[in-house]
């Protein structure tokens, strides 16, 4: 398989409400900036892939409008996944591995503010048996959290500790939406939101966009002094029927981590896409991470969670740390669906 | 550099207005099981699954790969969901081919579908946003002006579109999976059908169908010991440009010209009309056939309608187009592109049944989406490249 | 259970989702102008093309459009079709003419209605002018222009 590396990544502002900005107005600044930083022009790009979800902003073909943010004359090689842009990166890697592309632009955008996110996500369920019951996304996550607490694998204090650490870490992240220095005791004193979850256990609703340049071996070395090499990447799915799963486990995350080779070396940092605090605890276990490995130095999804971007941002953050020389080997994870149904794991190295 | 890949299984459902007897999961499963049977393999032999479909709003299911995991045998496997508007069926097949060509996986299942009867597609496409300059003239209202422009610019007689409709609909009568089958169709019937968007009559426009299509794509070793002949994937290509920009050519779109040029150069095609034995083109409205013939370089500018008129694109012509009956006869939008790609594979495998073009060795599959924005193509061959 | 009973083949699940759409910054400025009876587009700093309505970017050059340009409410028919079918939610009765109209001073046609002319008289290249609704009916919409009609004396 050909080598591939991330040579540039830009995250846009993460906000509860991006105002009037449309798709291309969200995308243009981050695409423009990542191209400026890497010195790549549209002519250099062999393949462009994006991730987004029409239902977030309630308009079919929202991603088509995204094309307006790019120079498309001459026409570009392009594709789109109706998923988190972490999978758009995967599609770009396929193009590099087959030899079809050397330099790829990948971006994701999510504007959840126009709609009712918790209900929109209900529509990811079986339309005949589950949607008519209208369980919302937070309630389903709460079922998982309850199962985890009841299994004895974690306590409410553990959840609060995840949140407290996210808030503190986010202080160093200029793009983070939520940050601060709450104590675990303060967090535990908060009332339940959807029991056992408190509001702070749930990721915020975020509008945002991010972009990345990924390149094959020689192109990456040419574009960047210290590329973030993608040494392993894999993604796995499991059933969408919550009742058929042991919600305290994530076998798909475990399998993806094994196949990506997480355990093959020391891990300097990990970014886990855990939109709910308890999911970080599940994922730590499935990825087999040592206790001392720093998790979510960016603040993670609890600090900002632009749908269809937040998983991609985990990869971007780890890549950024390697590009800047702050780390030599990192692990990034992205998830899709309810209760960690689908998971992608990438291992990045200097 | 890329590993060889071939289509070893093709499956589809009967396409019709309402598949009331199956759920969405049942529909995709039907197509997938037929593809697996053709490939002579079981669910356990599949390494990865790639799902494609057009807007989620057509069924009201967000990111349906999540709900369809069990139906697609996706547990514990990589599952990816592609959406590139109407061209999605084609670009999904390209991504699935890449899975194998990259060397990462050996045998991949790819499935596309649309079950429009479960929701209201017109509503999904026309959300009536208060601020959007709105002339609600339907899809034909957007495309018909360019067909008129084509007719005027190249002096194409009005009946050419009707000829395409007659040809494709007669071809559909040979295809048991086709949605519309009108055995007694003739020029007069098309011309007398209601005018929708001038110059398009009712019978020159695609139906709205429920249906699914699935392919099994495998590496060289597996392909060579498959029970049925493989269709070797010789070349794939995709191109896109913005929905609207100054100077955009909506008759001979730049993105399609670039896509064709790329796929031909990868496949070593220098004289498409002579070298390609059969083509399945995404023709949702009749006039796209002559326009595509020109854009795809099968003939010169302004010559497309003459080929259609002379019968060159008929089953018995020198460049048969859409022997399956095409999008004009079956249009499960998300699957329509993959049906073109799959039909091209069936032709070179010699497995197209009553609509087999004799001796087809090299075939072109083509898909189109958006406002002349998205194109995907592949060339498949009976001969290993 | 009685055999005469029809099997259940489906259920209706009404989905009601509320969205508060945003127009985008560029289109919002356009709508504010047309509220006042002026058509204001944007010029691409790369290729100098003027877009009406503006989308905030030029997808030919991939750059933001910011310079605002007021343009004429007259233009030329670039292409058209005669729509014969009624479409749900469309108040205009068929047959009606939908045309891509290139307004003077712009570089990309916009889709609008053409009326006050027999359908068989409409041709590509015909000069047309906007027919505005009465001022008291104006809102933040391109529909402040009821339709276009042939330019008198042209």
Closest partner residue to A53 among B24, B63, B125, by Cβ?
Answer: B63
Å between C153 CA and nearest CA of chain B: 25
Minimum Cα–Cα distance from B3: chain A residue = A98
Counts for chain A of helices (H) and strands (E), in that order: 12, 11
> C33 Cβ partners below 8 Å, 6+ apart?
C39, C40, C70
Interface probe, candidates A20, A27, A117, chain C, greatest C C-beta count within 10 A? A20
| Nearest CA among A122, A142, A167 for reference residue A304 | A167
> Of the ranges A322-336, B127-141, C100-114, which one carries the lowest mean pLDDT score?
B127-141
DSSP class of residue C88?
T
Total residue count of chain C as it appears in this document: 154
Q: Could C21 and B131 be called an inter-chain contact, meaning their C-beta atoms sit closer than 8 Å? A: yes
Cα separation, A333 vs A313, in Å, equals 9
Task: State how far the alpha carbon of A317 is from the alpha carbons of A206, A281, A314, A326, A341, in Å.
Answer: 17, 20, 5, 11, 23
> Tokens 């799959």 belong to which residue?
B342
The reported pLDDT for the residue numbered A21 is 84
Is B25 part of any domain?
Answer: yes
Contacting subunits of B (3+ beta carbon pairs below 8 A): A, C
**What CATH number does the domain containing B11 carry?**
3.40.47.10
> Looking at chain B from residue 248 to 267, which residues have their Cβ under 8 Å from any Cβ of chain A?
254-255, 258-259
Number of H helices, E strands in chain C: 1, 10
Q: Which of B235, B173, B213, B170 is nearest to B336 (CA)?
A: B213
d(CA A254, CA B286): 51
Cα distances (Å, whole numbers) of residue C40 to A22, A326, C37, C64 = 18, 49, 10, 16
A 10 A CB-CB count for B43 gives 15
B270 touches chain A (CB under 8 A): no
Distance CA C152, CA B327 (A): 44
Answer whether C47 touches B (CB < 8 Å). Answer: yes
A132 and C28 in contact by Cβ < 8 A?
no
Q: What's the CA gap between C127 and A109, in Å, rounded?
A: 41
Comparing CB atoms, the residue among A67, A91, A239 nearest residue B75 is A239
pLDDT at C90: 64
A250 touching C, CB under 8 A? no
Interface contact flag, A20 C61, Cβ < 8 Å: no
What is d(CA B378, CA B363) in angstroms, rounded to the nearest whole number?
8
Provide residues of B within 8 Å CB-CB of chain C. Answer: 20-21, 60, 118, 122, 126, 128-138, 140-142, 144-146, 148-149, 152, 194-199, 241-248, 250
Whether pLDDT at C85 is above 90: no
SS3 content of chain C, % helix, strand, coil (to 5): 10, 35, 55
How far is Cα of residue B291 from the mean position of the Cα atoms in its chain?
Answer: 16
Pairs of CB atoms within 8 A across A/B: 182
Kind and range of the H or E run holding B99: helix B88-101
Query: Chain A residues with CB inside 8 Å of C28's CB?
Result: 20
Question: Cβ contacts of residue B132 below 8 Å, gap of 6+?
Answer: C23
State the Cα angle at B89 between A335 and B329, rounded to 5°.
145
What is the torsion angle, in degrees rounded to the nearest 10, for the CA atoms of residue B23, residue B24, residue B26 and residue B27?
120
Query: Partners of B91 in the beta sheet?
Result: none
Number of domains composing chain B = 1
Angle at A316 between CA A313 and CA A317, to 5 degrees: 85
Other beta carbons within 10 Å of A3: 17
Q: Considering the domain boundaries, does residue B97 fall inside one?
A: yes
Write down the pLDDT at residue B122. Answer: 61
Structural domain includes residue B184: no
Q: How many CB atoms lie within 10 A of CB B325?
A: 27
Whether chain B has a CB inside 8 Å of the CB on C53: the answer is yes
Of A77, A98, A252, the CB nearest to B238: A77
Choose among C15, C24, C60: nearest Cβ to A21.
C24
Average pLDDT, integer, range A68-89:
95
Rounded Cα gap, residues A253 and A234, in angstroms: 9
Has residue B296 been placed in a domain? no
Distance from CA of A72 to the nearest CA of C (A): 5
Partners of C17 on chain A (C-beta within 8 Å) are 58, 115-116, 119-120
Give yes or no for B104 touching A (CB within 8 A): yes
User: Is residue B69 assigned to a domain?
Assistant: yes
Contact A59, A316 (CB under 8 A): no
**A342-349 and A329-336 strand pairing:** antiparallel
The domain of B56 spans: 5-119+208-224
| Backbone dihedral angles phi then psi of residue A243, each to the nearest 5 degrees | -65, -20
Mean pLDDT by 10 residues, chain B (385 residues): 93 95 96 98 98 91 97 97 94 98 97 89 60 66 94 97 98 98 97 96 95 98 98 98 92 97 98 98 97 98 98 97 98 96 98 98 96 95 96
Name the minimum distance, in Å, from the CA of C23 to any CA of chain A.
Answer: 6
List subunits contacting chain A, requiring 3 or more Cβ pairs under 8 Å.
Answer: B, C
Angle at A276 between CA A273 and CA A279, to 5 degrees: 65
Residue B235 forms part of a structural domain = no
Which residue ranges make up each domain of chain C? 25-150
Whole-angstrom Cα Rg for chain A: 19
pLDDT, residue A192, reads: 97
Q: Determine, for residues B70 and A240 on separate chains, whether the beta-carbon distance falls below 8 Å.
A: yes
**Which domains can be identified in chain A, with CATH numbers?**
4-116+205-227 (3.40.47.10), 132-202+229-349 (3.40.47.10)
Contact B145 C83 (CB under 8 A): no
Which candidate from C18, C22, C63 shows the least CB-CB separation from A20?
C22
Chain C residues closer than 8 Å to B244 by CB? 55, 59, 108
CA–CA gap between residue A165 and residue A295 (Å, rounded): 9
A33: chain C residues, CB-CB within 8 Å: none
pLDDT tens for A268-286 read 999 999 999 999 999 999 9
Where helices occur in B219-325 by DSSP H, the ranges are 220-224, 254-267, 272-275, 288-295, 304-310
Q: How far apart are the first and last CA of chain C?
A: 76
Chain C touched by A132 (CB under 8 Å): yes
- Residue A141 clears pLDDT 90, i.e. is over it: yes
Average pLDDT over residues C113-118: 93
ipTM: 0.97
Which residue is associated with the tokens 């729509």? C83
Residues in A closer than 8 angstroms to C107, CB to CB, are none
Helix A251-260 vs helix A277-287: crossing angle, to nearest 10: 50
B67, B76, B125 member nearest A252 (Cβ): B76
Interface check C62 vs A, CB under 8 A: yes
Note the pLDDT of residue C137.
95
Say yes or no for a CB contact (<8 Å) between A94 and B104.
Answer: yes
pLDDT digits (tens, 9 = 90+) for C27-80: 889 999 999 999 999 999 999 999 999 989 999 999 999 899 999 999 999 999
Q: Where does residue A73 fall: left (phi above 0), alpha (psi -120 to 50 degrees), or beta otherwise?
A: beta
Cβ contacts of B186 within 8 Å, gap of 6 or more: B166
Residue C92: predicted pLDDT: 73
With CA atoms as reference, the chain B residue closest to C141 would be: B131
Please indicate, yes or no, if residue B350 is contained in any of the structural domains. Answer: no
Whether residue B61 lies inside any domain: the answer is yes
In sequence order, what are the residues at sequence separation of 6 or more whose Cβ sits closer than 8 angstroms to the Cβ of residue B28?
B51, B68, B71, B72, B111, B113, B212, B214
Tell me the chain C residues in contact with residue A132 when contact means C-beta distances shorter than 8 Å: 11, 13
**pTM exceeds cut of 0.90:** yes
Q: Among residues B106, B87, B324, which one has the least CA distance to residue B223?
A: B106
């Amino acid at each position: 398989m050909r080598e591939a590396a991330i040579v540039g990544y830009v995250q846009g502002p993460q906000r509860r409400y991006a105002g009037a900005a449309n798709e291309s107005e969200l995308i243009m600044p981050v695409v423009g900036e990542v191209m400026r930083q890497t010195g790549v022009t549209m002519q250099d790009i062999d393949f462009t892939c994006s991730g987004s979800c029409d239902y977030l902003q309630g308009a079919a073909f929202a991603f088509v409008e995204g094309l307006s943010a790019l120079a498309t004359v001459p026409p570009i090689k392009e594709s789109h996944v109706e998923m988190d842009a972490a999978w758009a990166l995967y599609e770009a890697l396929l193009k590099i591995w087959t030899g079809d592309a050397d330099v790829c632009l990948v971006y994701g955008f999510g504007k959840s503010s126009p709609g009712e996110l918790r209900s929109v996500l209900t529509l990811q369920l079986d339309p005949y048996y589950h949607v008519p019951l209208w369980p919302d996304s937070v309630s389903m996550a709460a079922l998982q959290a309850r199962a985890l607490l009841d299994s004895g694998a974690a306590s409410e204090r553990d959840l609060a500790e995840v949140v407290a650490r996210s808030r503190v870490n986010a202080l160093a992240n200029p793009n983070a939406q939520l940050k601060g220095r709450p104590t675990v005791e303060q967090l535990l004193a908060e009332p339940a939101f959807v029991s056992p979850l408190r509001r702070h256990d749930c990721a915020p609703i975020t509008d945002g966009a991010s972009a990345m340049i990924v390149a094959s071996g020689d192109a990456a070395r040419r574009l960047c002094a210290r590329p973030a090499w993608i040494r392993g990447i894999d993604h796995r799915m499991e059933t969408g029927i919550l009742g058929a799963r042991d919600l305290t486990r994530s076998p798909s995350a475990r399998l993806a981590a094994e196949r990506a080779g997480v355990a093959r070396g020391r891990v300097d940092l990990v970014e886990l896409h855990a939109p709910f605090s308890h999911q970080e605890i599940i994922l730590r276990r499935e990825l087999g991470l040592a206790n001392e490995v720093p998790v979510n130095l960016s603040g993670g999804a609890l600090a900002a969670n632009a749908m269809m971007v937040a998983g991609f941002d985990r990869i971007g953050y780890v890549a950024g740390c390697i590009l800047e020389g702050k780390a030599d080997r990192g692990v990034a994870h992205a998830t899709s669906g309810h209760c960690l149904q689908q998971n992608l794991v990438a291992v990045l190295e200097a | 550099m890329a590993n060889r890949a071939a289509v070893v299984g093709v499956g589809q459902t009967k396409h019709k207005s309402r598949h009331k007897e199956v759920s969405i999961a049942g529909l995709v499963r039907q197509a997938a099981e037929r593809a697996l049977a053709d490939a002579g393999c079981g669910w356990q032999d599949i390494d990865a699954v790639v799902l494609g479909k057009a807007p989620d709003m057509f069924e009201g299911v967000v990111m349906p790969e999540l709900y369809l995991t069990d139906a697609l045998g996706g547990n514990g496997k990589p599952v990816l969901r592609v959406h590139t508007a109407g061209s999605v069926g084609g670009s999904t097949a390209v991504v699935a081919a890449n899975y194998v060509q990259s060397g990462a996986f050996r045998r991949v299942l790819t499935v596309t579908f649309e079950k429009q009867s479960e929701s209201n597609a017109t509503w999904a496409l026309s959300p009536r946003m208060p601020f959007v300059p709105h002339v609600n003239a339907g899809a034909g209202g957007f495309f018909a002006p360019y067909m008129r422009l084509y007719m005027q610019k190249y002096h194409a007689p009005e009946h050419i579109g009707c000829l395409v409709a007659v040809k494709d609909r007669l071809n559909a009568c040979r295809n048991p999976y086709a949605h519309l089958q009108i055995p007694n169709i003739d020029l007069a019937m098309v011309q007398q059908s209601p005018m929708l968007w001038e110059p398009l009559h009712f019978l020159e426009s695609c139906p709205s169908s429920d249906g699914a299509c699935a392919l099994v794509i495998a590496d060289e070793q597996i392909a060579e010991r498959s029970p049925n002949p493989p269709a070797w994937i010789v070349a794939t290509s995709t191109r896109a440009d913005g929905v609207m920009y100054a100077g955009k050519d909506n008759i001979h779109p730049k993105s399609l010209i670039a896509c064709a040029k790329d796929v031909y150069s990868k496949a070593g095609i220098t004289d498409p009309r002579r070298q390609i034995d059969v083509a399945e083109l995404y023709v949702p409205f009749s006039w796209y056939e002559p326009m595509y013939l020109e854009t795809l370089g099968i003939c010169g500018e302004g010559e497309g309608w003459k080929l259609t008129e002379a019968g060159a694109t008929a089953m018995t012509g020198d460049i048969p187009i859409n022997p399956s009956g095409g999008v004009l006869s079956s249009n499960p939008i998300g699957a329509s592109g993959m049906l073109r790609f799959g039909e091209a594979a069936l032709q070179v495998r010699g497995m197209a049944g009553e609509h087999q073009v004799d001796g087809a060795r090299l075939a072109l599959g083509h898909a189109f989406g958006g406002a002349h924005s998205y194109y995907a193509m592949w060339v498949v061959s009976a001969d290993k490249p | 259970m009685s055999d005469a009973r029809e099997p259940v083949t489906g259920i209706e699940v009404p989905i009601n989702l509320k969205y508060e759409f945003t127009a985008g910054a560029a289109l919002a400025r356009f709508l504010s102008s047309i509220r006042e009876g002026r058509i204001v587009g944007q010029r691409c700093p790369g290729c100098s093309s003027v877009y009406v309505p503006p989308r905030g970017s030029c997808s030919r050059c991939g750059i933001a459009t910011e310079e605002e340009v007021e343009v004429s409410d007259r233009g030329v028919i670039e292409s058209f079709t005669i729509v014969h079918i009624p479409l749900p939610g469309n108040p205009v009765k068929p047959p009606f003419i939908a045309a891509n109209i290139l307004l003077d001073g712009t570089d990309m046609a916009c889709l609008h209605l053409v009326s006050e002319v027999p359908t068989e008289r409409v041709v590509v290249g015909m000069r047309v002018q906007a027919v505005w609704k009465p001022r008291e009916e104006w809102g933040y919409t391109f529909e402040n222009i009821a339709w276009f009609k042939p330019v008198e004396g042209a």
